[in-house]
Amino acid sequence: MNFNFEEILKNEPKFRLKQIKQAVFCGLIEDWGEARALPKFLQEKLQKEVSLDIKAEVFASNNEEVIKTLIILEDDLKVEAVLMRHKDRNTVCVSSQVGCPLNCSFCATGKLGFKRNLTSDEIVEQILFFNRYLKHEKNQRVSNVVFMGMGEPFLNYENVMETIGILNDKDGLNIGVRKISISTAGIVEGIEKLAQENIDINLAISLHAPNDELRRKLMPVANKYSIAEILKAVNEYIELTNRKVMFEYIMIKDVNDSETCAEELARLMSHKLYMVNLISYNATGIFKPSSPEHIKEFKKVLEDYGIEVTQRFKLGRGVRGACGQLAGE
């Protein structure tokens, strides 16, 4: 798919672009013949030049709230995208790369190695796929987007920013920036660049350990960026944007879930615009998840220090929801 309609429409009147965006992203047409606002010759030209097909496999689960898909790209590589439904909120978790170069020890995507960056069109396609799905299902739309699927968004910075521009377009998907979140393993240059963009997007940092020594054991990228460097960039980001920043912390049994870890984490997280999201570990390999009781105790330690803590449960469990699990099989 190619959403660069400007190029194709360069000899057409300006309003055609708006009509086409509306047909594709709001009307959710799957064939140019459905774009009735367009003259026949243009429909035919688009039919030849721009495919509206999305090749995908859907993995339903017994849990209706989570639907996972494998999108098949033009070069036959596959990426995952997950729809999570909660009340009237429809959140899509998108991939930004095929595979991932970071190789975090707990993550299934890392095991696949890195294949290539996704183009902005290939990222948008993941959202468009679920918009079509929701239209058929219940006439709903994707309301939120999180960059928490396969890959490291800040190692594909330009394409991710271009994607956000397309998602945000009032004539198209019209998803507000405050409904979009980027999660990074802590690529400092990416945090610094984002701070300069002047957009109200949500930033999340995958911390997963309260000190560099442990973090290096879990995330090789920690050899490149220390926690202190990451927090310095985050603080500058907060100075410029005044936005809250979320720190993700996967709870892995006997690895990073001790009381000492909780206290060390609490001291790191003392900034009033930091918040912590404790994530149940989705077992994919060598580690085991912490028990719910244990997570509760860990949470209590943080709360006693006055830190804002939220908890993410295993939403994706029924469909092998951990990132990279499907594509790996």
Select 144 or 183, whichever has its Cβ closest to ligand SAH. 183
Annotated catalytic, 261? Answer: no
One-letter amino acid of 230: I
Work out the angle at residue 183's Cα, subtended by the Cα atoms of residues 69 and 235, and round it to the nearest 5 degrees: 170
* Binding window for ligand SAH (CB under 6 A); candidates: 74-82, 129-137, 177-185, 227-235: 177-185
# chain residues binding ligand SAH, by CB under 6 A: 16
Indicate the helix (H) or strand (E) that contains 69: strand 66-72
| Beta pairing, strands 89-93 & 114-117 | unpaired
* Binding window for ligand SAH (CB under 6 A); candidates: 25-33, 111-119, 167-175, 274-282: 274-282
Catalytic choice (93, 100, 261, 323) = 323
* Binding window for ligand SAH (CB under 6 A); candidates: 44-52, 165-173, 194-202, 281-289: 281-289
Q: Decide: is 281 part of the binding site for ligand SAH (CB under 6 A).
A: yes
Tell me how far apart the alpha carbons of residues 36 and 13 are, in angstroms, rounded to a whole number: 17
Annotated catalytic, 323? Answer: yes
Query: What is Dmax (Cα atoms) for the chain?
Result: 69
What CA–CA distances, in Å, run from 23 to 168, 211, 255? 16, 50, 50
Helix, strand, coil fractions of the chain, as percent rounded to 5: 40, 20, 40
Q: Decide: is 91 part of the binding site for ligand SAH (CB under 6 A).
A: no
CB of 200 to ligand SAH, least distance (A): 19
Q: Decide: is 256 part of the binding site for ligand SAH (CB under 6 A).
A: no
Task: Identify the DSSP state of 258.
Answer: S
Place of tokens 């984002």: 194
Tell me how far apart the alpha carbons of residues 276 and 266 are, in angstroms, rounded to a whole number: 9
Q: Decide: is 181 part of the binding site for ligand SAH (CB under 6 A).
A: no
Footprint on residues 286-325 left by ligand SAH (CB under 6 A): 322-323
Footprint on residues 119-158 left by ligand SAH (CB under 6 A): 148, 152
Tell me which of 43, 184, 202, 290 binds ligand SAH, using CB under 6 A. Answer: 184
Tell me how far apart the alpha carbons of residues 301 and 261 are, in angstroms, rounded to a whole number: 10
Cβ atoms 288, 36 nearer than 8 A: no
Q: Decide: is 282 part of the binding site for ligand SAH (CB under 6 A).
A: yes
- The structure tokens listed for 95 are 């991939």
Tell me which of 38, 56, 107, 209 binds ligand SAH, using CB under 6 A. Answer: 107
Catalytic choice (65, 80, 229, 261) = 80
- The structure tokens listed for 241 are 């944007």
Select 46 or 100, whichever has its Cβ closest to ligand SAH. 100
Footprint on residues 1-40 left by ligand SAH (CB under 6 A): none
Which positions touch ligand SAH (CB under 6 A)?
106-107, 148, 152, 183-185, 206, 248, 250, 279, 281-282, 284, 322-323
Which residues are catalytically annotated? 80, 323
